Chain A
Amino acid sequence: MRITQGCFSFLPDLDDTQITAQVEYCLSRDWAVGVEYTYDPHPRNTYWEMWGHPMFDLKDAKGVMMELEACRKAHPEAYIRLVAFDSTRGFETVTMSFIVNRPNDEPAIRMVRTEVDGRSIRYTHSVLR
């Protein structure tokens, strides 16, 4: 099942030229770009592993692409995303995030309904491999 999280995830996967263009956009807004990866794409898994530090003070997207390449090499079967952090006072948050690498075989996410307290329903999602 195709995991959809962050920007562009309903579009076909971005190729490297397109990723570079997106990173250029982020850098033009003075956002710091970081690379993160995970093997657990559960929607509630907000904090992915960081691949190195977020990159401040970059002028060109090539620096990010080098890190992304290194991360892909080390974790070809992981989900990898780029996150752009806006440090403007008052925002100080991730403003953009998109998936740039997926495993060949993506896990499914299954929803389970449980009846509690009379007829109320609790929903639980689990990742199935």
Chain B
Amino acid sequence: MKDDAMDADTETPRPETVDLKAEYEASGVREILDELDRELIGLAPVKARIRETAALLLVERARKSMGLSHETPTLHMSFTGNPGTGKTTVAMKMAGLLHRLGYVRKGHLVSVTRDDLVGQYIGHTAPKTKEVLKKAMGGVLFIDEAYYLYRPDNERDYGQEAIEILLQVMENNRDDLVVILAGYADRMENFFSSNPGFRSRIAHHIEFPDYSDDELLRIAKHMMDEQNYALSPEAEAAFVDYIGLRRTQPHFANARSIRNAFDRARLRQANRLFTEAAGALDGAALSLIDERDIRASRVFRGGLDSEVARKEAGQ
């Protein structure tokens, strides 16, 4: 499709001027950016970076139409941040954005981890990696926890082979696919320093900050809204306490922890309704999450039983 567009460029006379505003409106990029603003709470630095990237790509496209540049800009990216900060969600939006701008032909997202790329025995890795790459052609390949590809403790690890194939495709098929690597910041840093080939091929490093307590509460309310649940005022206060406590406990995963908390609160609410309810329940009662549903969480008793036991043993 892109080749067709290029052919058309050589046939029709090049435009003298370009109206970026009109281009912006026509490309449908605004919808994606608005969607990003609306659906993703917080993440201000990420949104700013995406806006910048979109502007760059728009200008680059305009330059191309005027014959000022020919090279496709390097679009491979790395997303770093703690678990549950929205990396996959943003990657999905990014695929849509790049598709609207015409930098990828199909705009689908193929999300993989080490298991999908690295084989079990000699000669298994290359076909496996190529299979995934073929599926990702024309779209975005999202490699979650990319640092697992490289195992410095085992020099015979097949991950190295997958890395080499990836690097080659990232260089040679820049028109065909965009690779996004994602993972925790510190481990990604290690990964990049031991694989300098990756660092030089990735132009955009985007960092995902942790959510603040206030943002997490808004996320929780957003999730509940979507599923037609509501918090009573006391339950909301309890949830604020919950977020503050949960953050200090191990395995805190930002929005994902909030989603899990919500799921467990639903479980407790259902159980409470089932055991306590006498007679008919209306819709409001079925969708109201009570303070008790939140306060019953183990987080208020110091976390998982195993964690509490460990702490006590330590003291």
Contacts and interface: CB of A to CB of B under 8 A. Distances in A.
Interface of A: 17, 52, 55, 57-64, 66-67
A59 B3 contact: no
A61 B3 CA distance: 13
A60 B106 contact: yes
The 7 closest A-B CB pairs, nearest first, are A60-B138, A63-B134, A62-B137, A60-B137, A63-B137, A59-B106, A62-B176
B173 interface: yes
Q: Which of A52, A60, A67 has the most CB of B within 10 A?
A: A60
B3 A58 contact: no
Contacts of B176: 60, 62
A64 B133 CA distance: 11
B179 to A, nearest CB: 14
Interface string B48-74: 000000000000000000000000000
B99 to A, nearest CB: 11
Nearest to A64: B134
Contacts, number: 34
A55 B132 CA distance: 11
B135 interface: yes
B173 A60 contact: no
Contacts of B106: 59-60
Contact-residue bracket for chain B = 10 to 19
Contacts of A58: 134-135, 137
Contact of A59 (B130, B133, B137, B173): B137
B135 A57 contact: yes
A62 B135 contact: no
29 contacts: A17-B3, A52-B127, A55-B134, A57-B135, A58-B135, A58-B137, A59-B106, A59-B108, A59-B137, A59-B138, A59-B139, A60-B105, A60-B137, A60-B138, A60-B139, A60-B176, A61-B138, A62-B134, A62-B137, A62-B138, A62-B173, A62-B176, A63-B133, A63-B135, A63-B137, A64-B134, A66-B130, A66-B137, A67-B134
A115 B133 CA distance: 57
Interface of B: 3, 105-106, 108, 127, 130, 133-135, 137-139, 173, 176
Contacts of B108: 59
A64 B130 CA distance: 11
A67 B135 CA distance: 12
Contacts of B105: 60
A66 B134 CA distance: 8
Contacts of B135: 57-59, 63
A61 B134 CA distance: 9
B104 to A, nearest CB: 9
A63 B135 CA distance: 7
A63 B133 CA distance: 8
A32 to B, nearest CB: 12
Nearest to B1: A24
A52 B133 CA distance: 15
Given A58-B137, A60-B176, A67-B134, 6 more contacts: A52-B127, A59-B108, A59-B135, A63-B134, A66-B134, A66-B137
Contacts of B137: 58-60, 62-63, 66
A58 B176 CA distance: 13
Contacts of B134: 55, 58, 62-64, 66-67
A101 B173 CA distance: 23
Contacts of A67: 134
A58 to B, nearest CB: 6
Contacts of A60: 105-106, 137-139, 176
A61 B139 CA distance: 12
A57 B130 CA distance: 13
A33 B136 CA distance: 16
Nearest to A56: B135
A73 to B, nearest CB: 14
A52 B127 CA distance: 9
A63 B108 CA distance: 14
A69 B135 CA distance: 16
